[in-house]
Structure 1
């Protein structure tokens, strides 16, 4: 133990020498940048005006604990007793058998679950709060409860205690080393390692579908993929991913690459690879992303293929940009897009889910101050926001694994992509958050103007396919369903199981289908009615979409299109290109 203490002291001393006190560079700032204090102050005021409700909540908690104590005492005396409360099936924190088999740890688990439920229900039943304040209080109460879970602490986690005894404390030394490495990597802030960053390299073992960069602007590179079939469909396909993350979520590995699969079906596939912007691109606007992104990509795709029209896919924020672009094109009588597919895309931000917790005037002002100082929003700040939406899976599980168990994170391609953050240009990001999330102007006819042109989503009359995912924390599916009541052309709505990423990246596997999906021949006025009358199908939604996109793609041609063969669009470099390889270290 003396040797362990000595090694620990040396590690901490070395870290402090590298990061002296007072070094706050890169910090979010002081005060309350998330504007949480005002929400909880309002909640407390409302609670005090209804002491009877508070008293009843305390009585209910006390009764739950009496029942728990009675059951635990009966079990310790050799009897059998049923649990008072169970964790949810999706809760992985209590998978270790000791949480159920050991009476003490079972008591700790149930005590925590009762208290967490009491906290959540108590704040959820406070009357008089406006919807935004209530949502913020509920969200941060859950964050607080998640942080206090007994699984997050050495003395109350049976797996960590077992590992500590077996390794004679070496796990804690390794954990401290991992912790300090992550602090150094974050330059004083904790940047949790989610995967082995050395296990992957873009273009070597992920994002490996062969192709060429055939066009580029300041904001994007356009990749054209090499055909793998003897014939290809007439109408090409261009994919517009979000610039919050990198495009290769759709091209992780051959076995789960949507891009490779689409190419193998005979589609001529292009993808936009967004730049990872720095301060030089601070003044790039949402309009610039349309002009130098979607519109420029459409120009190049049609110039390369010689076709009059292209099909297009927009994913998440890339879908919001695509919808805006299509409305702009409709205003300009531009009919060069034949059909559009939207992956987990919001156009109506009235019910924006848990992300809306981070959007209000006070938080936006604080965010804009930080962005204006640097010219961009640092990618790690956006990543932290998304990780908080699934804190137990994306924060606390790694705290336990890396720092308490002292283990190295497992190599996982999806988590490598998740950690490969991108920046946001200040002007563009401020416009997007204010006009769409805060003011919800996009859904209003002529509520937003792009390039001095008012846009109206109801003028989009081309065939549209909308894919949403049932457990999406970023683009709630019931909100995305608004597209079916907005676009005026034929709309096919698909609902996939799982979340924002796993529900989309769900390749067909007849032998072992993973997540199911739902279809419906009609689009009733409400999402609830749609699901009630929908049909569930096992396995991937990809083949269902393929049947739809084939109808929009014309006949097959005999000659596949070879990237870089057009004189006006020679190959600039091999896929995946240089833009996607720019990492924030």
Structure 2
């Protein structure tokens, strides 16, 4: 196990003696002997696979070949499907020919809602309109070609479609200066200055990629000054996290404090971004005593930290510390993304063990069931996880660029290629924004913990299958009796809202579900006054029959505005009176602390 530390009365950090079992009893890594050290030959195999993984960015070639082999074999024995695809190709060719003859008419092929490569009006003129339509026609045909077939597994169908989309995105006409009208026009207007500036941007990004240095935030987006700037103190620290207590801004506060558990995959300050859209500041201004976990950015020395460490030395340690600062009060809890999954595990374990300290449990874009976990499942199978484990075996952690690439490829059209065109061919700087600064402030993940998370939750879905053991005993979400507030976002591709909604399926107690517009981050950052926001809300009382997500959607009409006041009202309704703010815990340093600056 990694060395643990805790803060003593003298404010020093000392080791925490612990020999914790893994939360999930996972099988040993490929080639690993549980009875002793690995055989040298198997270590050689792992080193070879890890070297290959570094070259492929952590993507398993076997997963790719297996999916395409499955597709090709099923297609080869389906003559009717072959004829259908041939007919589809002929129809697309006919549509293109008709459009070429009448380009003033309606374009036959439309890009997806999140694909902004062809939205500029210059793409409506010939010959560029024909370039775009030819590309979209090819994309349409491959979507049909990689659709389900009898016997063809759904996961392989989705994986081949995704991989083909990546290939097509690479050869999109928008990526080539001589085929993109925006680049041609900008080059003519500036006399080629845009290409010179683009080359400088490319060189800057290449150096940053090779050196793996963090890009410094631009002026006006400094951490601790402009971002993560809500006033508070670090009141507890061990080697895994710092606990921030925020200073009250109201004369009276609600009696029960609130603990926020963020995801460890990114820095916590997505919930304390700028002053105008900080959820932390909003809740403090509504009279809540807010505590925040700020996770460390682990290095190789924490390679053996596991999910159980994050539960005990993370969430449970934070609850203990808050209990010492605000005694004799139950504690509201909120978990975001992976932090919500960890919080649900903690809450179920506490319920099983008779620990009733939780007043409420709130989950923001957090999944407890991973059977429909969206496009991230495209990166999760036995071969892929073993490949990532071998890569982490040599590093001790999953590095920042490897996670960044995974999320970027899900929306490669916008997050990779549109940005590359703007930056390298049009010579445009990235427009600075608080969420972009946060998005670039990535973190690492300990090897053992990440392996347990991928295997136990994503791959084997143990939490809702009744096979997730904590301290040797299985836990169940239905044991949780604290009221729950669960938020999903309409266009979330990381935690799809129908997957988040499944919290209603695996719990029996009072649960309020909110569906808000926006994506994984944008839907959560929905401060009052934010334009074009709406949400739906519904209450499930204890022991009510289950209602499916589509039926729920039909029966709940959108409400204009931010969901934050709805949540603040719900939280206040589940609190017990107001009084003077509690004393601040013993301050180790000012917020946002020290771990937020770790690179």
Q: TM-score, normalised on structure 1?
A: 0.89
Q: Paired residue for 2:8?
A: none
1:460 to 474, 480, 484: 480
State the distance in 2 between where 1:85 and 1:389 align: 22
> Contact 1:182/1:192 (CA < 8 Å) preserved in 2?
no
> Contact 2:255/2:329 (CA < 8 Å) preserved in 1?
no
- Give 1:125 deviation, angstroms: 4.2
State the distance in 2 between where 1:125 and 1:318 align: 34
Report the RMSD for the aligned CA atoms in angstroms.
2.2
State the distance in 1 between where 2:537 and 2:109 align: 36
Q: Paired residue for 1:47?
A: 75
State the distance in 2 between where 1:196 and 1:409 align: 12
Q: Paired residue for 2:560?
A: 538
Q: Please say which of residues 51-60 and 432-441 is displaced more in the overlay.
A: 51-60
> Contact 1:196/1:408 (CA < 8 Å) preserved in 2?
no
The DSSP-based 3-state class of the residue aligned with 1:254 is coil
Q: Paired residue for 2:19?
A: none
State the distance in 2 between where 1:71 and 1:355 align: 37
Query: Is there any run of 5+ residues in structure 1 with no aligned partner, and where?
Result: 1-22, 565-569
1:129-528 equivalences in 2 (<5 Å): 129-187=152-210, 200-445=221-466, 447-509=467-529, 513-522=531-540, 524-528=546-550
> Contact 1:225/1:269 (CA < 8 Å) preserved in 2?
yes
> Contact 2:148/2:157 (CA < 8 Å) preserved in 1?
no
Q: Does structure 1 residue 111 correspond to structure 2 residue 129?
A: no
Query: Is there any run of 5+ residues in structure 2 with no aligned partner, and where?
Result: 1-50
State the distance in 1 between where 2:558 and 2:296 align: 39
- Give 1:198 deviation, angstroms: 6.0
1:93 to 96, 117, 135: 117
State the distance in 1 between where 2:558 and 2:197 align: 47
State the distance in 2 between where 1:88 and 1:38 align: 28
State the distance in 1 between where 2:106 and 2:196 align: 39
Taking a change above 3 Å as real, the CA distance of residues 35 and 229 of structure 1, as seen in their structure-2 partners, is: same
- Give 1:359 deviation, angstroms: 0.7
Q: Paired residue for 2:587?
A: 571
> Contact 1:200/1:413 (CA < 8 Å) preserved in 2?
yes
- Give 1:462 deviation, angstroms: 1.1
> Contact 2:59/2:384 (CA < 8 Å) preserved in 1?
no
Q: Paired residue for 1:16?
A: none
> Contact 1:160/1:404 (CA < 8 Å) preserved in 2?
yes
Q: Paired residue for 1:120?
A: 143
> Contact 2:58/2:387 (CA < 8 Å) preserved in 1?
no
State the distance in 2 between where 1:65 and 1:465 align: 51
State the distance in 2 between where 1:338 and 1:33 align: 47
- Give 1:89 deviation, angstroms: 4.5
- Give 1:95 deviation, angstroms: 2.0
State the distance in 2 between where 1:114 and 1:38 align: 27
Taking a change above 3 Å as real, the CA distance of residues 573 and 196 of structure 1, as seen in their structure-2 partners, is: closer
The CA deviation string for residues 65-108 of structure 1, in whole angstroms up to 9 with x for no partner, is 22322332244xxxx433222334543212211112x1211111
> Contact 1:331/1:453 (CA < 8 Å) preserved in 2?
no
Q: Does structure 1 residue 63 correspond to structure 2 residue 91?
A: yes
State the distance in 2 between where 1:30 and 1:538 align: 43
> Contact 1:34/1:358 (CA < 8 Å) preserved in 2?
no
Q: Paired residue for 1:81?
A: 105
Number of equivalences: 545
State the distance in 2 between where 1:407 and 1:440 align: 43
- Give 1:176 deviation, angstroms: 2.0
State the distance in 1 between where 2:381 and 2:159 align: 11
- Give 1:45 deviation, angstroms: 1.7
Taking a change above 3 Å as real, the CA distance of residues 504 and 74 of structure 1, as seen in their structure-2 partners, is: closer
Q: Please say which of residues 134-143 and 311-320 is displaced more in the overlay.
A: 134-143
> Contact 1:506/1:514 (CA < 8 Å) preserved in 2?
no
State the distance in 1 between where 2:444 and 2:280 align: 24
State the distance in 1 between where 2:525 and 2:350 align: 30
The DSSP-based 3-state class of the residue aligned with 1:213 is strand
State the distance in 1 between where 2:314 and 2:451 align: 18
Taking a change above 3 Å as real, the CA distance of residues 467 and 73 of structure 1, as seen in their structure-2 partners, is: same
The CA deviation string for residues 165-214 of structure 1, in whole angstroms up to 9 with x for no partner, is 2222222222222222212211189x998x96565321121110010000
Q: Paired residue for 2:46?
A: none
Q: Please say which of residues 88-97 and 272-281 is displaced more in the overlay.
A: 88-97
The DSSP-based 3-state class of the residue aligned with 2:287 is coil
State the distance in 2 between where 1:360 and 1:133 align: 10
> Contact 1:493/1:519 (CA < 8 Å) preserved in 2?
yes
> Contact 1:72/1:107 (CA < 8 Å) preserved in 2?
yes
> Contact 1:219/1:292 (CA < 8 Å) preserved in 2?
yes
State the distance in 2 between where 1:24 and 1:357 align: 20
Q: TM-score, normalised on structure 2?
A: 0.87
The DSSP-based 3-state class of the residue aligned with 1:103 is coil
> Contact 1:120/1:138 (CA < 8 Å) preserved in 2?
yes
Q: Please say which of residues 172-181 and 228-237 is displaced more in the overlay.
A: 172-181
